[in-house]
Amino acid sequence: MRTHTGNTSLIGLAIMLLTLGACGGSGEPTTADKYKVPSGGGMEPANSPSKAAMISEADITLGEVDKALVEKGKSTYDVKCQACHSIGENRVVGPGWKGMLTRRKPEWVMNMILNTEAMLSTDAEAQKQLEQCLVRMPNQNLSKDDARNVVEFMRTL
C-alpha cells in the first residue's frame, strides 16, 4: 500500500512537470506557479460525464457582436477559465484563446465547454490538444447561455 502511494505521487509529480514543460507557454516558472491546476482536478475527468446534448451548427447564430453578452462571457472567463487559459496566444495549462474562432467553429467551442468529456473522448482535434497539454480539461458546468456568452467574448479576441 505504502509503495503504491509513493509511486502515484511520483507519477503525479512527473506528469505535472511534463505538463508545465509542454504547456507553460513563455516558460516563465512564475506564470506556471500562478496557474496551478486546481487540486484534485486536471489529471482525470473531474465530474461525471455531462448529459448535455451536443450543439450543432444550427443552434448558433452569430450576428453583430453583442456587447452585453461579451461582458457576461468575460465575467465567466475571469472566474472559471482564466486559471488555465490566457486570452493571448500563449498556453497556460490549456491553449491561449486569441483567434479561437478563426481556428474553431463556434459549435465546436460550445461542445468543448459543455460536453468536455465527450469531446476529449471522441474528437480528434480536442485529443490533439490533450496530447500536447497532458491535462484533461475539467467540465466547468456552464449553462448553455454561459457557454454562448463565452463564445461572444471569444469573438473579440
Which residues are near ligand HEC by CB under 6 A? 37-38, 41-42, 76, 80-81, 83-85, 93-95, 104, 109, 112-113, 120, 126, 129-130, 133, 135-138, 140, 142, 150
Cβ proximity to ligand HEC: between 76 and 115 the closer is 76
Cβ proximity to ligand HEC: between 7 and 156 the closer is 156
**Side-chain-facing half-sphere of 28: CA atoms under 13 Å:** 6
Cβ proximity to ligand HEC: between 6 and 128 the closer is 128
Q: CB 55: neighbour CB atoms within 10 A?
A: 23
Write down the least CB distance from residue 9 to ligand HEC, Å.
19
Write down the least CB distance from residue 6 to ligand HEC, Å.
25
The CA distance from 102 to 44, in Å, is 29
Write down the least CB distance from residue 133 to ligand HEC, Å.
4
Cβ proximity to ligand HEC: between 20 and 113 the closer is 113
Q: With contact defined as beta carbons under 8 Å apart, do 18 and 134 qualify? A: yes
Cβ proximity to ligand HEC: between 7 and 127 the closer is 127
148, amino acid identity: R
Write down the least CB distance from residue 27 to ligand HEC, Å.
17
The CA distance from 6 to 4, in Å, is 5
**Under 8 Å CB-to-CB from 108, ≥6 apart: which residues?**
123, 125
Q: Degrees (nearest 5) of the Cα angle 60, 63, 68?
A: 95
Write down the least CB distance from residue 141 to ligand HEC, Å.
9
